[in-house]
Structure 1
Amino acid sequence: MLKRLPTLLRWLRRQVRASELLFLGLAILVGMVGGLFTVLVGAASRMVQHLLFGLPPELRLSGAASLSFPVLLALPAGGAVLVAFNWIVQTRKRALVDAVEANALHGGRMSGPDSAIVAAQTVISNGFGASVGLEAAYAQLGGLFGSLGARVMNLRRADARTLVGAGAGSAIAAAFGAPLAGAFYAFEIVIGAYTPAAIAPVVAAALAGAQVAQRLGVVPYVVSAQPGPAIHTMGYVAYGTLGAACALLGIALMRGVALVEAGSRRWLSGNLRPAVGGFLLIPLALLSPQALSAGHSALHIDMTEAVPLGFIALVLLAKATASIVSLGFGFRGGLFFASLFLGTLVGHLYAGILGLAFGHPILNIGNASLVGMAALAVAVVGGPFTMAMLVLEATGNFSLTGAVLAASLVSSTLVRELFGYSFSTWRLHLRGETITSARDVGWVRTLTAGRMMRKGFATISGDATISELRRRFPLGSTSRVVVLDGTGRYTGIATLAVAFAEGANADSAVATICHAADATLSPEQDIAQVMTRFDETGSDELAVIDAGGEVLGLVTETYVRRRYAEELDKAQRELFGER
């Protein structure tokens, strides 16, 4: 039986690659595993919190009425534990790849050890009370199982990217009990496009993940409020303004994390940053325990109870500061749920201030909280339809969902115009990457000058005469010749049409008719950089040289642009499922 296993696996791979129905079944399996591990990761984090902070079984950390100073020493202790864990896995020098980066640059390939490290770091950070969410770990593990499934089945690049998105979406669906939100998360955040070929597997995986969590008896993150009145025209205008305010706050939050991170790296050793960050969180937690962890219980309390506006403003400031400190000082996690919680506070505060300004309520506080929640999450995480579906599945209120969409689109547009990044792509930008979404641009990085160059090229010394060039290379034998100096280094390109042109001095040196002497390419430059170089130089051909000036090959503009068009067409066909 074991001897037949490789043959059976090869047969199964062929069937999955050829059958959309079997690929759908694989996506459902990935979704089930993604949902299961979402449950396990959430349970592990909650268990750590309950043990450390002495919480009753029904209470989450952010819902505690108060916490004493000795108990809050768990925060710097968590920083020390995180430092110890990072030291244990310090052999991994390169940056850890998440699902968004994997789909954008690596064709959906994710590392198992990388993902395990990310998940463990996130559980430690959240479990010890840092103001970070677990959604990063959920999406990381869900995407990993999609990537592993694609690798085992030897799937095409486009199918692998779809499966990674399906896995990540199933994890979010399981966490929130919201399959549509999970599916749109996959499309908008992880895949980077709404692809017809991906609809069935992504939605099926999200449904499977949500069902697994439900069958295991896990209570999802409940986002609810008392149903408010229907939204009318002026309400859309007011909520659009709220969306703009959330966009500005989201940009400030992301830039704040980057500034604090840069400052802490400059002034503190990497071994001290998380522990110092833990100490800085203690006064914020003493001010309000709602600043800690992701904020699930705090969100429920602030949306369902009558709370003074001053208290809302205090919690908003404390939570925003705690999130910036946590991430800026090296704790691992994301801003997904933190942005949802902060958005509800902004919406609540906005509705309350309008009511005070006009002397009577203008907006329903519950509605405003949900609109603010979605708008700020869109500013930070991205995905306007993801957040709209989250609100719709939580409330069933279509009128409110329309206002959520309006505010989310205002928020998304402003963030793209003024900032250009979501939180995940902003962190990549700080690392030197240029991607702004999970759209597949990995093929651009792999299609380099070294791969496109033609190695069989004619050469001649720059000291040779034009008559010798004519004798060695008659018209029709080639179109261009690489000119070298006495040491064999590149000095330019001679075109035979110029050498044979009427009026050319046969006794002159070949070096006198050279062009593109200073316009060269290095073998690692990608196709986008190569095309930019052609535009800058105006040359029809460029030489690819190494660091020592030795010519490795030639690249022509015609060939480069044809290859770009072919790859673009291939990517477009894959986008629409044309195999």
Structure 2
Amino acid sequence: MNNPFRSPTVTSFLANLDLGRLRSLSRRGEIALALAGALIGVTSGCAVTAMSFISRHLHSLIFGLEDTDRLSSVEVGNKLLLLVAPIAGGFLLGLMLLFLSKTRKKPMVDPIEANALHGGRLSLTDSILVAVQNLVSNGFGASVGLEAGYTQLAAGIASKIGLSLQFRRADLRVLVGCGAAGAIAAAFSAPLTGAFYAFELIIGSYSILTLTPVVVSALVSTIIARLLSGENFVIDVGSFGSVVGADYLPALLLGAFCAIIGILLMQAVSFVEQLSRRSSIAPTYRPMLGGVVVGLLALISPQILSAGHGALHLNLSHEVAIPALLGLFLLKSVASAVSIGSGFRGGLFFASLFMGALLGKIFAYSTPYFDHATLTPVIYAVVGMSSLAVAVIGGPLTMTFLALEITGDFPITALVLAAVITSSLVVRSTFGYSFATWRFHLRGESIRSAHDVGWIRNLTVERLMRADVRTADVNMRLSQFRHDFPLGSTQRVILVGDQGQYRGIVLLPDVYASPVEKGDDDHGLGEFIRWRDDFLLPQMNAKQAAGLFDSAESEALAVVNNHGERKVIGLLTESHTLRRYSEELDRRRREVTGEL
């Protein structure tokens, strides 16, 4: 029986609508990318709100706080909890690490590494596991923030959406940036901060094509988070008059000072990690021992617990003496380094903001030595907060917009911009890494940013080489060689030993250009063998191969299986390598500019 409410046109449309068409539509044009960014903004806002809700309730449940209290700004009545909770969290996290070590062998990838090496491909399962570990670490009081979990989970969801709709590599990287932008925007109620966090740290570049989806995601995520939680991260700088020219010198000095402290902080975290690895303590027990240290420090000052939101506002709104500020800074820096270095999951985003604010207030006591300076301690705290964060996390514009959005004051933002540029310049000139890229460096990776270098690594010698190569025995006589390889049959012949080992290359023009005396054609090929120790390995990328062609001054090189056996498996020419490298480079350029 025909359905009177379904016309033939509607029936035909539904019959022709399939998942493939939907995927094709989703990958077509900037509008589709913007719509995907909006969807990711919704999921990011929900993910951040959910993680924040769980963290606050864990604090209330474990430490007996009120729902409106912040762990780092209240006095916990039961002091034993301050010691036991981080240890219990470390024990629980250690069990999780033990389970994961037996079930998941591949290392977990974060959004920066995913965009730099894997074309935006992130495991959603791994991202959820990272978020859960971050919640356990933060919820039990370890001195880490939730921003790492926020960005990991939101970016993992974004990558899953992009993979499901079969987005292209460049678009998938943008979607991962949208997820991270939405996460940071929702965490701080700061859409510009979230957007530039994505541009500077996750995507690695800014273009007109990426502007719309990233900003849409950040705006939508901020709106969703405000609707669900109603919280804003705002700092009241009070009334101070106006910024004058004399205020820039102390701000620049504060930026340079924060850069030095940021470098020391990153190295302290690495020192604790290396100390943990070199010890005989199993990875399962390291978080628990780290929890012991954090718990002991919390007995001195509970302000070092968790991310430090409450402690930040507490120290900004009260007058605190220099010894107390210095003591709290040292305690927080040690607690953060021990927490991350011992295996607790989290990052230094908010910890660097908190410690930078403390440094700014400490620096404010030197203002009488600067003539005509007018800034208040709270403004120095904002400058220090952004300067230390840019030294550790990176992203000068990200931290500048954060200062703008949390203070709402443009003159202060200009001052912050000068300070963060100074801090960034000092770090890049003397150290060269942010916290994330420094950890990649310690693992042996050469990643300096989220710029897409994965395609270069995927363009390997094994993919470029020819496997059908002409070979000959290295002991072959010249007469036999001339018989087997007449002039014009090939350009070059690879010589191999008895077991197929690479021994060099002979160029046919060299052989036939040499004058032949009577009896000379019974000699060997020794005088014609070239590039005996110059060869390529299959795992080398095109850039490395091009460097070897240049150093060997050869138009072609043999490819061997490894350094030990040196069995010939192929041949690669310089012209083909450079042509394919140029084609891929042009393809990436067209993807960025939207020409594909």
**TM-score, normalization by structure 2:** 0.93
The residue aligned with 2:256 is 244
Cα contact 1:227–1:366 (8 A) shared by 2: no
Cα contact 1:343–1:372 (8 A) shared by 2: yes
1:446 aligns with 2:463: no
Shift of 1:374: 0.6
1:486 aligns with 2:503: no
The residue aligned with 1:35 is 45
- 1:118 & 1:218 partners in 2: Cα distance? 26
The residue aligned with 1:265 is 277
CA deviation vs aligned residue, 1:14-67 (integer Å, no higher than 9, x gap): 112123212211110011101101000111111111111111221111111356
Cα contact 1:224–1:300 (8 A) shared by 2: no
- 2:389 & 2:80 partners in 1: Cα distance? 34
Cα contact 2:178–2:218 (8 A) shared by 1: yes
Shift of 1:68: 4.0
1:524 aligns with 2:535: no
The residue aligned with 2:529 is 514
Cα contact 1:425–1:437 (8 A) shared by 2: yes
Give the residue type in structure 2 aligned to 1:54: G
Match of 2:319 among 291, 300, 306: 306
Cα contact 2:155–2:180 (8 A) shared by 1: yes
Give the residue type in structure 2 aligned to 1:555: L
- 1:471 & 1:490 partners in 2: Cα distance? 22
Give the residue type in structure 2 aligned to 1:461: D
- 2:234 & 2:549 partners in 1: Cα distance? 55
- 2:292 & 2:37 partners in 1: Cα distance? 43
Cα contact 2:304–2:335 (8 A) shared by 1: yes
Distance 1:478 1:227, change over 3 A: farther
Mapping 1:318-337, distance limit 5 Å: 318-337=331-350
Give the residue type in structure 1 aligned to 2:40: V
Shift of 1:361: 6.8
Query: Which deviates more from structure 2 when the two are superposed, residues 93-102 or residues 281-290?
Result: 281-290
- 1:16 & 1:322 partners in 2: Cα distance? 46
The residue aligned with 2:55 is 45
CA deviation vs aligned residue, 1:348-401 (integer Å, no higher than 9, x gap): 11111333x569975321211111111111011110101111111122211111
Shift of 1:85: 1.8
Match of 1:534 among 520, 532, 549: 549
Match of 2:91 among 75, 80, 90: 80
Shift of 1:276: 0.9
1:60 aligns with 2:60: no
The residue aligned with 2:7 is none
> Any idea what SS the aligned residue of 2:533 has?
coil
How many pairs were matched up? Answer: 577
Shift of 1:220: 3.2
The residue aligned with 1:395 is 407
Distance 1:438 1:223, change over 3 A: farther
- 1:345 & 1:105 partners in 2: Cα distance? 37
Give the residue type in structure 1 aligned to 2:459: L
The residue aligned with 1:173 is 185
The residue aligned with 2:3 is none
Match of 1:564 among 563, 566, 581: 581
Query: Which deviates more from structure 2 when the two are superposed, residues 332-341 or residues 550-559?
Result: 550-559
Please report the RMSD computed on the Cα atoms of aligned residues, expressed in angstroms: 1.9
Mapping 1:400-415, distance limit 5 Å: 400-415=412-427
- 1:172 & 1:126 partners in 2: Cα distance? 17
> Any idea what SS the aligned residue of 1:216 has?
helix
- 1:571 & 1:418 partners in 2: Cα distance? 31
Cα contact 2:85–2:295 (8 A) shared by 1: no
The residue aligned with 1:282 is 295
> Any idea what SS the aligned residue of 1:552 has?
strand
The residue aligned with 2:226 is 214
Cα contact 2:247–2:373 (8 A) shared by 1: no
The residue aligned with 2:381 is 369
Distance 1:46 1:537, change over 3 A: same
The residue aligned with 1:128 is 140
The residue aligned with 1:460 is 472
Query: Which deviates more from structure 2 when the two are superposed, residues 158-167 or residues 409-418?
Result: 409-418
> Any idea what SS the aligned residue of 1:464 has?
coil
Cα contact 1:479–1:495 (8 A) shared by 2: yes
> Any idea what SS the aligned residue of 2:319 has?
coil
Give the residue type in structure 2 aligned to 1:530: A
Give the residue type in structure 2 aligned to 1:576: T
The residue aligned with 2:241 is 229
1:116 aligns with 2:133: no
Give the residue type in structure 2 aligned to 1:309: I
Distance 1:6 1:442, change over 3 A: farther
Give the residue type in structure 2 aligned to 1:370: V
> Any idea what SS the aligned residue of 2:104 has?
coil
The residue aligned with 1:544 is 559
- 2:78 & 2:261 partners in 1: Cα distance? 31
CA deviation vs aligned residue, 1:516-544 (integer Å, no higher than 9, x gap): 11111211112222223223322222111
Query: Which deviates more from structure 2 when the two are superposed, residues 167-176 or residues 523-532?
Result: 523-532
Query: Which deviates more from structure 2 when the two are superposed, residues 263-272 or residues 161-170?
Result: 263-272
Query: Which deviates more from structure 2 when the two are superposed, residues 261-270 or residues 74-83?
Result: 261-270
Shift of 1:467: 3.4
- 2:313 & 2:391 partners in 1: Cα distance? 21
> Any idea what SS the aligned residue of 2:27 has?
helix
Cα contact 2:250–2:370 (8 A) shared by 1: no
CA deviation vs aligned residue, 1:250-308 (integer Å, no higher than 9, x gap): 11001000001111222222122111111111231122111111010111111122222
Distance 1:500 1:113, change over 3 A: same
- 1:145 & 1:461 partners in 2: Cα distance? 57
1:15 aligns with 2:28: no
The residue aligned with 2:438 is 426
Cα contact 1:465–1:509 (8 A) shared by 2: yes
Shift of 1:7: 5.8
Match of 2:352 among 307, 315, 339: 339
Give the residue type in structure 2 aligned to 1:62: S
Distance 1:360 1:240, change over 3 A: closer
Gaps spanning 5+ residues in structure 1: where?
Answer: none
Distance 1:512 1:49, change over 3 A: same
CA deviation vs aligned residue, 1:439-496 (integer Å, no higher than 9, x gap): 1000111111111111122111222233333333333322111111233322111111
- 1:466 & 1:363 partners in 2: Cα distance? 86
- 2:232 & 2:409 partners in 1: Cα distance? 19
**TM-score, normalization by structure 1:** 0.96
- 1:563 & 1:412 partners in 2: Cα distance? 36
Distance 1:87 1:496, change over 3 A: same
Gaps spanning 5+ residues in structure 2: where?
Answer: 1-10
Give the residue type in structure 2 aligned to 1:498: D
- 1:513 & 1:362 partners in 2: Cα distance? 79
> Any idea what SS the aligned residue of 2:594 has?
coil
Cα contact 2:537–2:561 (8 A) shared by 1: yes
Give the residue type in structure 1 aligned to 2:499: T
Distance 1:6 1:71, change over 3 A: farther
Cα contact 1:384–1:409 (8 A) shared by 2: yes
The residue aligned with 1:156 is 168
The residue aligned with 2:199 is 187
